[in-house]
Amino acid sequence: MMPTPTSERVLSRGLLDVLIRAGLIAVLAIFCFRIFQPFLDLIVWSVILAVTIYPMQVRLRRRLGNKDGRAATLIVLVSIAIIALPAYLLGAAMVDSVGNAMAMVKKEGMHIPPPAESVATWPLVGQRVYDVWLQAASDLTGAIQAHAPQVKEVSLVVLGAAAGIGKGLLIFVFALIIGGIFMAYGEAGHRSAVQIAARVFGPERGQRIAALCTATIRAVAQGVVGIAFIQMLLIGVAFVIKGIPAAGLLAMAVLLLGIAQLPATLITVPVIIYVFASEGASVATIVFAIYVFVAGLADNVLKPLLLGRGVDVPMPVVLVGALGGMVTGGVIGLFIGPVVLAVGYQLFWQWVEDPPHQSGAGNQPQT
């Protein structure tokens, strides 16, 4: 039976209506994303913090008369105090140190002690370090002018890192506040997450996928904080034993850098340079430098051991997701990467283990 011109017009009009509606929905989605995009990182951080801290909210809520808002407010205030106080003390100490150094330079001039002869015997870089150090000790102005491009590059890196730390702390504080609001409505948020997952992945998989995302975020967050804390202890103990000034504040800075996924070498390398400049090269200073430098790289060993615990996917999946996500998306990618990879892993193996049902006469059991 051939389609009539009337039926073809009706079909074309129906297809045109579908295309117009799909186009309008796409335009609306694009405009919504562009409006929401400036706040995307902040909201994602807020969700990550809310999911991570919510078990504490549940335990604290029982002691506060089941008041979610009160418990969330208390957690947020304590968290901001824990972050803000060490950051303020560290900043104040750095400002005082810079001020004292500038006053000393203006009053007495800047004098760098000459290097010991043993510096030249260091493997690979000994002679180069000895020559630069000796030139700085004899003619500091000429040394700075001779290495002006390197000094400028290092200065820009240090200033960029400091600006990044300050920006990260501000985003973290605002994310904590918004995360507290999310925690105050935690049960409703959980129901909404399960409904969205059920709508996207199906009613049977929705609950499981939502639980997997929650567990992955918490495992990565706890692993990041745990690794940063262990690294702080390893480095802080060495600073205290060696008698480094403001050792406690420097150790706290290592903790903050670890949480922000910045290398601890931003702290350890200047401390090593300070120790060699003030005490010279000896067995004790060389052992201290090697230990502190290796401890600053300990997170590369600890991540494979601690990340992914308590998640119903293999640890390498979470580790690869965390590292790949951090490379492609920064600190937020550290959390988003494992979640996406874990969900994809689960869906893939559910698809592999649940083949389509075969039908047909040849498959019927013979009687």
Question: pLDDT higher for 229 or 307?
Answer: 229
For 220-258, what is each residue's pLDDT tens digit?
A: 887 777 888 888 888 888 888 888 877 777 887 888 778
How would residue 359 be classed by pLDDT, with cut points 50, 70 and 90? Answer: very low
How would residue 29 be classed by pLDDT, with cut points 50, 70 and 90? Answer: very high
How many Å apart are CA 116 and CA 64, to the nearest integer?
63
How would residue 162 be classed by pLDDT, with cut points 50, 70 and 90? Answer: low
Q: Which CB contacts under 8 angstroms, 24+ apart, belong to 124-133?
A: none
Among 81-85, 183-187, 225-229, 292-296, the least confident range: 81-85
What was the pLDDT predicted at 98?
65
What was the pLDDT predicted at 33?
92
What was the pLDDT predicted at 124?
66
For 98-107, what is each residue's pLDDT tens digit?
A: 666 667 656 6
**Closest by Cα among 125, 102, 106, 101 to 115:** 125
Indicate the pTM of the whole model: 0.65
How would residue 35 be classed by pLDDT, with cut points 50, 70 and 90? Answer: very high
What was the pLDDT predicted at 108?
58
Q: Angle at Cα 13 formed by Cα 10 and Cα 14, nearest 5°?
A: 85
For 170-192, what is each residue's pLDDT tens digit?
A: 787 888 899 889 888 888 888 88
How many Å apart are CA 64 and CA 293, to the nearest integer?
45
Q: What are the structure tokens assigned to 28, written together?
A: 């609306």
What was the pLDDT predicted at 366?
47
Look at residue 298 and tell me whether its pLDDT is greater than 70. Answer: yes
Q: What are the structure tokens assigned to 32, written together?
A: 């919504």
What was the pLDDT predicted at 31?
93
How many Å apart are CA 322 and CA 338, to the nearest integer?
5
**Closest by Cα among 313, 341, 312, 311 to 326:** 341
What was the pLDDT predicted at 367?
42
How many Å apart are CA 202 and CA 258, to the nearest integer?
38
Q: What are the structure tokens assigned to 356, written together?
A: 């389509």
What was the pLDDT predicted at 4?
62
Start-to-end C-alpha separation, the chain: 43
What was the pLDDT predicted at 24?
93
What was the pLDDT predicted at 361?
45
Look at residue 111 and tell me whether its pLDDT is greater than 80. Answer: no
What was the pLDDT predicted at 94?
65
